[in-house]
Structure 1
Amino acid sequence: MSQASTPHKPRKKKRQLVRSNTLTDIAKLEPGSDTINPEFNLVSFLLPARGKSQWISIPLILIFTGLFRWTVGVWGYSGQGVPPMHGDFEAQRHWMEVTQHTPVSMWYFYDLPYWGLDYPPLTAYHSWICGKIGTLINPEWFALFTSRGYESQDLKVYMRATVIISEYFVYVAALIIFIRHYSRSQGIGTTAANTVLVAILMQPATMLIDHGHFQYNTVMLGFVIASLSSIYANRPLWSCIYFVLALGFKQMALYYAPAIFAYLLGSCLTPRLRIGRLLAIAIITILAFAAVLAPLTAGTLYDLYRAFDLPYRPPPPFLAQRRISLDPSTPLGAITLQLFQTIHRIFPFARGLFEDKVANFWCTLHTFYKLHNLEPYIQLPRLSAYFTFMSILPSMAVTLSNPKPSLLPYAFASSAFGFFLFSFQVHEKSILLPLLPLTLLLCSKKGLSKEYRAWVGFANALAVFTMFPLLRRDGLRTPYTVLSLLWAWLLGLPPLSASCYYDPDLPNVPGRPLAPDELRTPTKIFHWWFYAVMGFWHLLAAFAEPPETKPDLWVVVNACVGCAGFAVCYGWCTWKLVLESGLLDEYFEYTEKYLEGLMGGDGDAADGKDNENDDTIVVQSPGGEKAVAKGRGKGGKKRR
């Protein structure tokens, strides 16, 4: 007797995410035909690759953008041929020298007046690795003391290569993964995602600073992108680890800390209290910091065990001012001294409020009112802390109350702009931090619309403009001009294109309702006014000498113009954060209903008469929603 067979249950097919094939915001279809008209030049380059495998498209993009990085590296770098201190290139080379030839206990103590190490431990480990590899190639590059100010073509090639390799391993890899996650969550297609990838990799400010001026900012920025990508992949613990790595590489990642802290805390409080998630985040964060500090503390203990004859290491000011004495010959004393000295070097509160002519609030205010006049009344670092806290409070409050992953780029940009404008010891290069999340918005659903391209392009153009005095000293005028104009041409931005501000398909009629992605007239005037000012400033800097009594006049004007523009960019990011959070949706709905009730005529239905002169009023909220209200014209009831 045969046993009855159980009915076969087919295996459920894994649900596949369907990618959008639309070309919204990047191309237009001609009516009645299949002809595609790209909105801007970058789309024209990438449209032929539409439908091709990503295994072909992405490597070609990376090769294309990598060539520009190598080309920028051919030009000068910070401090080239300018003894005795040279510049950032020499600082990075010197750290590779120090980490090679001195005990770990001396890394943050060794010859501090000459480019003493003042970045977190992960930078020191990175310098140690690069120095080890470089020493195998040519020991003269990093010989202790005798290599100071060493300049040669082969050393330049090696140092440039370390920047590119580090960037591609961390920044580029994280960016590709982030765009994959973020574009899927926003529902944009592959062509648009590749367009954003090229736009971000061709960002002129990042290339000019890291591959021209010479730094490793993209490593830190790459860890930040990896942290964001982990959130979109619903892996908050990995997000904590990556963000700690960003902090461990450069302390400037603190610009983003309030936003990500508010998001992670908010995700533990809403929609319900999740104690387990909160404890897991706290424990993982502490363990990640411990892992970053472990090699430094282990090296300190190893030096103590080997009984190295170390020179006297003075206690950092925090301990000296409180007359706290430590015995560096004991494990506890050695580790405590090392950690406090590391913190002292990373956070240089002994320096001034700002460094050089930087386009932030304090430098601009100092131009018109000397800040040292305030010192008898309030400490400037404390005043800076007050202003910084107030500037980051909106992004923290919105993200804490509404922890949506889609809000993080806005929150990161708002927080970073607040730090750049008001915090302590800001450099010109710090503008890269708000630029990153702002440029990542190109990957959002509205990212390639005219409005977003205009604002992202404006902020990037303004950032490169404020860096020009620094880049000019490094001999980078030509890369500055080529990359800035190329990026503007690719994305349809001024001064080479006005496609973000003008649409020939829309009628030029006064009172016409705005298109969903169209900029308002005051915004257009504001942007173009700034572009005109930047162009005029370049003419002054090129052909007019400043007064002898004020040799830095053009540089100060540059900083003031940049500060005003960045303040408006901060306001735009914060306003968009509030709008996208939905906190004002009820207000806009109430306003629209109120206007409908205020302007709507109720006499037509009652008297049955046709009104030939009805007026139609279109009310558009900043989010793009429209409400239509009809009012009475001649022969009807008066509007109240």
Structure 2
Amino acid sequence: MDPEHHPTFNQCLVLATALKLLLIPSYRSTDFEVHRNWLAITHSLHPSQWYLEDTSEWTLDYPPFFAAFEWVLSQAAQYFDTGMLQVKNLNYASVETVYFQRLSVIATELILALSLRRFVNIQTNPQAKKGANIIALSLLLSPAFLIIDHIHFQYNGMMFGILIFSLCDALTDNLLRSGILFATLLCFKHIYLYIAPAYFAYLLRRYCLGKNLLDIQFFNCIKLGVSIVSIFSIAFGYFVAIGQIPQLLSRLFPFSRGLCHAYWAPNAWALYAFADRILIHIAPRLNLNIDSASLGSATRGLVGDTSFAVLPNIPPRVTFVLTLAVQLVCLVKVFLQPTPTRFIGAVTLCGFASFMFGWHVHEKAVLLPLVPFSLLALQDRRYLGAFRPLAIAGHISLFPLVFKAAEFPIKSAYTILWIMVFFMTFDTVVPVAKSQRIFLLDRFEIVYMTVGVPLILYTELFHFAIFGSRLEFLPLMFTSAYCALGILGSFLGFFVLYLTG
């Protein structure tokens, strides 16, 4: 992609939409039925029953604004097929239902497109605008959104669009609206609580305090406080009034789940679990004890039962302490140096910390660091060097979400094409810093990219040809461990740059 003659944003939007329309009949995960069931719950039942209904195992477990969003969608869905709005119709997937739900994702993703346009428009000089346009196109055409939202099925594009609008307001010092948008986002999906500490530290320092820390801006504090309390009151007030907050919170925070998700999210615990699998085979030589009851736990693909055979088990408090420790370091930095760019860096690192060290992390949560880091990637060649492994690993880690043979050429070819086009384009527009390269990170990136293609070929094609249905967890384990190394390298590289920059 020549940055001087790249396609326009609108042209890429039309192209992306056309591709997503072609993917309407493609593979659908259980999340498709999850959202179909939520349509039925919110349409057919009184709000007092939304968080009590459990006919389906896929109970409503998002905050009230998302429930209201499903209710709004259901008002249109009834003109497509009323069958999808019946709570008893489990696993209902008529042609009309499929088209409606797929089209609803495409339509609501326009919020992402509009937020990316705004990110480009707020840039103040031609070089920055050129870089922002490339980043906007890379996110608009991202394989991550294509795989998660338009094949697997979710509404991340819409919600990350709200986040980018909020970050754009922070970049332009419209801090009150930035905080309001983020509070609204939290009432749509509570996973964004992971990056809330960055918002708290930045808004406190930049909006509520003056240059002198004792110079409290009381009027700003009142405006921000009243706004946030009002948003949460609108979202949760009704459920407080009917005494359902304990029930609602039990749905939002199911702490009974285990350390690792069914497919290991590529984080520190994936590497920990991988090391445990290796130690099982060499433990007899090292005279290490093996917990025979745990031999299959980390590889059975079950939720809530992760335990380790050789290494110590990890309790939830350890994940909390590690996550908080990393976040506190970057929060101190943004509090002492409250610039908009440093704030987006803090959002990125809070997302990184929660993904790398959190409890029962889903692989889809890689978007939490990937999206905000994208907004910074072209500001410095060192940032770009740290970003590339995350972009590669983050996208490859999503491949197991779409495991049908028919989608293999789509996800593989599209992702490889995206990496080739945008990585080459990034190199042409990123400014050259005085400290242009970080030797270890630079070499790590080259080796990491080289290993990626044969790994994809093995896990997606050769493993089945060699082993058939045996050792079915092996490709997932290799993919998770490989991607975890890339994301860990990206995290460490950016963490060092953030603290020393």
Which category describes the TM-score, using the shorter chain as reference length?
0.7 to 0.9
TM-score, length-normalised on structure 2?
Answer: 0.85
Displacement of 1:353 in angstroms is 1.8
Displacement of 1:242 in angstroms is 0.5
**2:326 is the counterpart of 1:391:** yes
Which residue pairs with 1:467 in the alignment?
398
**2:261 is the counterpart of 1:355:** yes
Q: Judging changes above 3 Å, is the alpha-carbon distance between structure 1 residues 359 and 445 closer, same or farther for their aligned structure 2 residues?
A: closer
Quick check: 1:251–1:346 contact (8 Å CA) kept in 2?
yes
Q: Give, in whole Å, the separation in 2 of the partners of 1:349 and 1:245.
A: 24
Return the structure number with greater helix share.
Answer: 2
Displacement of 1:124 in angstroms is 0.6
Q: Give, in whole Å, the separation in 1 of the partners of 2:73 and 2:193.
A: 25
* Mapping for residues 62-77 of structure 1, pairs under 5 Å: 62-77=13-28
Displacement of 1:164 in angstroms is 1.2
Q: Judging changes above 3 Å, is the alpha-carbon distance between structure 1 residues 137 and 367 closer, same or farther for their aligned structure 2 residues?
A: same
Which residue pairs with 2:418 in the alignment?
487
**2:156 is the counterpart of 1:217:** yes
Q: Judging changes above 3 Å, is the alpha-carbon distance between structure 1 residues 72 and 462 closer, same or farther for their aligned structure 2 residues?
A: farther
* Mapping for residues 413-432 of structure 1, pairs under 5 Å: 413-432=348-367
Q: Judging changes above 3 Å, is the alpha-carbon distance between structure 1 residues 549 and 492 closer, same or farther for their aligned structure 2 residues?
A: closer
* Aligned residue identity for 2:78: T
Which residue pairs with 1:603 in the alignment?
none
Secondary structure at 1:67's aligned position in 2? Answer: helix
Displacement of 1:120 in angstroms is 0.9
Residues 505-534 of structure 1 deviation map (CA, whole Å, 9 limit, x = unaligned): xxxxxxxxx974743443332112112222
Q: Give, in whole Å, the separation in 1 of the partners of 2:194 and 2:156.
A: 14
* Aligned residue identity for 1:43: P
Which residue pairs with 2:247 in the alignment?
341
Q: Give, in whole Å, the separation in 1 of the partners of 2:26 and 2:4.
A: 30
Which residue pairs with 1:110 in the alignment?
53
Q: Give, in whole Å, the separation in 2 of the partners of 1:437 and 1:533.
A: 26
Which residue pairs with 2:452 in the alignment?
534
**2:272 is the counterpart of 1:365:** yes
Residues 167-211 of structure 1 deviation map (CA, whole Å, 9 limit, x = unaligned): 10x222222213322x22x76354443323212211111221111
Secondary structure at 1:43's aligned position in 2? Answer: coil
Q: Judging changes above 3 Å, is the alpha-carbon distance between structure 1 residues 239 and 42 closer, same or farther for their aligned structure 2 residues?
A: same
Quick check: 1:384–1:424 contact (8 Å CA) kept in 2?
yes
Quick check: 2:307–2:313 contact (8 Å CA) kept in 1?
no
Secondary structure at 1:389's aligned position in 2? Answer: helix
Which of 236, 239, 242 is the matching residue for 2:175? 236
Which residue pairs with 1:176 in the alignment?
117
Displacement of 1:280 in angstroms is 2.7
Quick check: 1:266–1:402 contact (8 Å CA) kept in 2?
no
Q: Give, in whole Å, the separation in 2 of the partners of 1:414 and 1:522.
A: 20
Which residue pairs with 1:562 in the alignment?
483
* Aligned residue identity for 2:445: H
Q: How many residues align?
A: 463
Q: Judging changes above 3 Å, is the alpha-carbon distance between structure 1 residues 45 and 358 closer, same or farther for their aligned structure 2 residues?
A: same
* Mapping for residues 260-279 of structure 1, pairs under 5 Å: 260-267=199-206, 268-272=208-212, 273-276=215-218, 277-279=220-222
Q: Judging changes above 3 Å, is the alpha-carbon distance between structure 1 residues 190 and 275 closer, same or farther for their aligned structure 2 residues?
A: closer
Which residue pairs with 2:287 in the alignment?
none
Quick check: 1:204–1:487 contact (8 Å CA) kept in 2?
yes
Secondary structure at 1:574's aligned position in 2? Answer: helix
Q: Give, in whole Å, the separation in 2 of the partners of 1:489 and 1:469.
A: 21
Displacement of 1:473 in angstroms is 4.5
Q: Give, in whole Å, the separation in 1 of the partners of 2:230 and 2:270.
A: 39
Quick check: 2:386–2:489 contact (8 Å CA) kept in 1?
no
TM-score, length-normalised on structure 1?
Answer: 0.67
Q: Judging changes above 3 Å, is the alpha-carbon distance between structure 1 residues 366 and 137 closer, same or farther for their aligned structure 2 residues?
A: same
Which residue pairs with 1:285 in the alignment?
228
* Aligned residue identity for 1:292: A
- Once superposed, which parts of structure 1, at least 4 consecutive aligned residues long, lie more than 6 Å away? none
Which residue pairs with 1:10 in the alignment?
none
* Aligned residue identity for 2:51: Y
In the alignment, structure 1 segments of 5+ residues that lack a partner are: 1-40, 50-56, 79-86, 301-331, 504-513, 581-640
Which residue pairs with 1:204 in the alignment?
143
Displacement of 1:474 in angstroms is 8.4
Quick check: 1:394–1:574 contact (8 Å CA) kept in 2?
no
In the alignment, structure 2 segments of 5+ residues that lack a partner are: 277-293, 295-305
Q: Which of structures 1 and 2 has the bigger CA Rg?
A: 1
Quick check: 2:388–2:445 contact (8 Å CA) kept in 1?
no
**2:91 is the counterpart of 1:155:** no
Give the structure, 1 or 2, with the largest relative contact order (CA under 8 Å, sep 6 or more): 2
Which residue pairs with 1:543 in the alignment?
462
